[in-house]
């Protein structure tokens, strides 16, 4: 008698074609690469599915396995589009799809370079580590080039609800990104090992990575000592009359909104509903009327400081007198007026200023709406109520070096005055809030976020959001917060971890390139 054939899974014609035909295999790689990018996107707010970031990176590594650098570059570019196109639609809310898609297309190049680098180092011993270093290296370049860089979409910024956040106090955002990428690349190595029936070695590798990452991630963020001095800080969110790029046309209404909400807070303090603040933070663009040139604006701010009985950090647009302006956070003292100031150092290209103005103006009708701001200098620290305060105005919070310099210069508290009204009800607000949460852990400082239209928030040094406002509401938050002075290891090391990781990646790529030449020769 013939043997009985048991039920076995049958391969459909389409599946056989995908597995055997060159076009089918290429199509399968393309689909998986695009899906990998989408998984990376889902790890960021508002979805915040942080655990899918390693999965996305693992799928991308597997997608480019066994092919050349050029093919990997193309697949990586698809993954980059799957990542950045859904991550950045807020860029085009009021200016159309072209700027959004152009920025996404540009940022996708970094993922393409990562995939090409992966093809070079994938055959080296310890490939999982070199692959993870290559990801961080591409983030480092993307945070600096072009036009001063665009750090949005760093893996670390999607991990504020995950267990790896505490690594930020050791090696900053690059350390968190490295850990996420390493878990992903080690997972890919396990899949390859299982396919080769070397399961024990592969599972051991992933287990070692997970145990190490868990140990680092479980390190507690140092709490402020009982004797640590504190301040009572108020955040005022005045809201704006209407959203969009033209909200500045109602500059007086925006200023009046913040004065009115400060007056309301003063009434709540007088009634004993809320404690009296030592200092008050207004958001970026709270006064787009230059108080140095407009006496009525200065009078309104004076009246607000008198009502609340505390100095106010005012987000103002200040003229330089030469046709340009500065985005300024200005300390307005009760009774004496303007004092210390921080001029925004890292400006938004194509928003606050226009690179290649003559060319871009011909390509987009919205180019004329770009500002003519000039960057400031200094260390980003102002003194308000005898408190050294780090000011990271909106976009600046995304940059490691700016916040680190301010904390190392003595800042005991971090303020993020921001204006999100130009982006409407979008994911941008929550993505930026996640950056502020990471900065809190990275430097062991309370972070206070003051937004024109939301979300304003008070963030503890361990990254927890203690209080936050709703979007598009006039509101105020008041809290007593510690003033920390100790430096974390990340604060002390500054950009050294990122530099070491990047140099390691370049060295690994060079070794991989030499090895590939030898195999071909």
- Catalogue the active-site residues: 284, 344, 394
Distance of alpha carbon 457 from alpha carbon 411, whole angstroms: 19
- Residue partners of 510: CB distance under 8 A and separation at least 6: none
Buried b / exposed e over 56-90, threshold 16 CB at 10 Å, is bbbbbbbbbbebebebbbbbbbbbbbbbbbbbbbb
Looking at the chain, the number of H-run helices and the number of E-run strands are 15, 12
Q: Write the DSSP assignment of 174-207 as a string of letters.
A: HHHHHHHHHHHHHHHHHHHHHHTT-HHHHHHHHH
Cβ count near 6 (within 10 Å): 5
Contact 254, 240 (CB under 8 A): yes
Label each residue of 279-348 as H, E or C.
EEECCCCCECCCCCCCHHHHHHHHHHHHHHCCCEEEEEEEECCCCCEEEEEEEEECCCEEEEEEECCCCC
Q: H or E segment at 267?
A: helix 251-270
Label each residue of 16-46 as H, E or C.
HHHHHCHHHHHHHHHHHHHHHHHHHHHCCCC
Q: Write the DSSP assignment of 432-494 as a string of letters.
A: HHHHHHHHHHHHT--EEEEESSS--EEE-TTS-EEEEPPTT--EEEEEEEE---PPPHHHHHT
CA dihedral sign, ordered 151, 154, 158, 162: negative
- Return the bridge partners of 325, or none: 319, 373
Contact 45, 74 (CB under 8 A): no
What are the structure tokens assigned to 269, written together? 């303090």
**Sheet arrangement for strand 413-418:** 381-384, 387-391, 413-418, 447-451, 457-459, 465-468
């Amino acid at each position: 008698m013939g043997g009985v054939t048991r039920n076995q899974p049958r391969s459909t014609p389409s599946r056989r074609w995908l597995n055997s035909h060159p076009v089918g295999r290429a199509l399968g790689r393309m689909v998986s690469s695009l899906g990998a990018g989408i998984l990376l996107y889902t790890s960021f707010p508002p979805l915040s599915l942080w655990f899918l970031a390693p999965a996305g990176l693992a799928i991308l590594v597997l997608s480019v396995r066994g092919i050349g650098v050029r093919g990997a570059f193309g697949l990586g570019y698809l993954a980059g589009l799957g990542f950045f196109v859904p991550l950045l639609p807020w860029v085009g809310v009021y200016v159309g799809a072209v700027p959004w898609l152009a920025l996404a297309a540009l940022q996708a190049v970094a993922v393409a370079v990562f995939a090409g680098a992966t093809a070079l180092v994938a055959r080296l011993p310890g490939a999982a580590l070199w692959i993870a270093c290559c990801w961080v290296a591409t983030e480092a370049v993307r945070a600096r080039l072009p036009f001063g860089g665009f750090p949005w979409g760093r893996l670390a910024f999607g991990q504020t609800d995950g267990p790896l956040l505490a690594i930020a106090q050791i090696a900053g955002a690059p350390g968190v990104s490295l850990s996420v990428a390493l878990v992903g690349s080690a997972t890919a190595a396990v899949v390859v090992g299982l396919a080769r029936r070397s399961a024990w070695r592969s599972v051991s590798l992933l287990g070692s990575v997970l145990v190490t990452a868990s140990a680092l991630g479980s390190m507690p963020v140092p709490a402020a000592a009982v004797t640590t001095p504190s301040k009572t800080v108020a955040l005022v969110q005045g809201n704006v009359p209407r959203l969009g790029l033209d909200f500045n046309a109602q500059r007086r209404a925006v200023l009046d909104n913040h004065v009115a909400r400060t007056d309301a807070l003063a009434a709540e303090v007088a009634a004993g509903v809320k404690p009296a603040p030592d200092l008050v933070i207004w958001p970026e663009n709270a006064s787009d009327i230059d108080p140095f040139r407009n006496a009525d604006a200065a009078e309104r701010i004076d009246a607000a400081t008198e009502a609340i009985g505390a100095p106010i950090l005012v987000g103002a647009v200040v003229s330089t007198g030469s046709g340009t302006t500065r985005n300024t956070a200005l300390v307005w003292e009760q009774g004496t007026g303007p004092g210390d100031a921080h001029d925004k150092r890292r400006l938004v290209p194509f928003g606050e200023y226009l690179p290649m103005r003559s060319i871009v103006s011909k390509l987009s009708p919205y180019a004329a709406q770009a500002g003519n701001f000039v960057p400031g200098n200094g260390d980003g620290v102002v003194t308000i109520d005898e408190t050294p305060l780090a000011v990271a105005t909106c976009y600046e919070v995304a940059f490691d070096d700016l916040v680190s310099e301010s904390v190392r210069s003595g800042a005991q508290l971090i303020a993020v005055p921001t204006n999100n009204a130009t982006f409407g009800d979008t994911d941008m607000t929550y993505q930026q809030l996640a950056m502020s949460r990471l900065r809190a852990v990275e430097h062991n400082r309370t972070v206070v976020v003051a937004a024109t239209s939301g979300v304003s928030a008070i963030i503890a040094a361990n990254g927890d959001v203690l209080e936050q406002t709703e979007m598009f509401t006039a509101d105020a938050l008041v809290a007593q917060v510690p003033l920390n002075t100790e430096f974390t290891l990340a604060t002390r090391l500054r950009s050294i971890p990122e530099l070491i990781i990047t140099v390691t990646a370049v060295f690994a790529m060079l070794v991989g390139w030499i090895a590939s030449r030898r195999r071909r020769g």
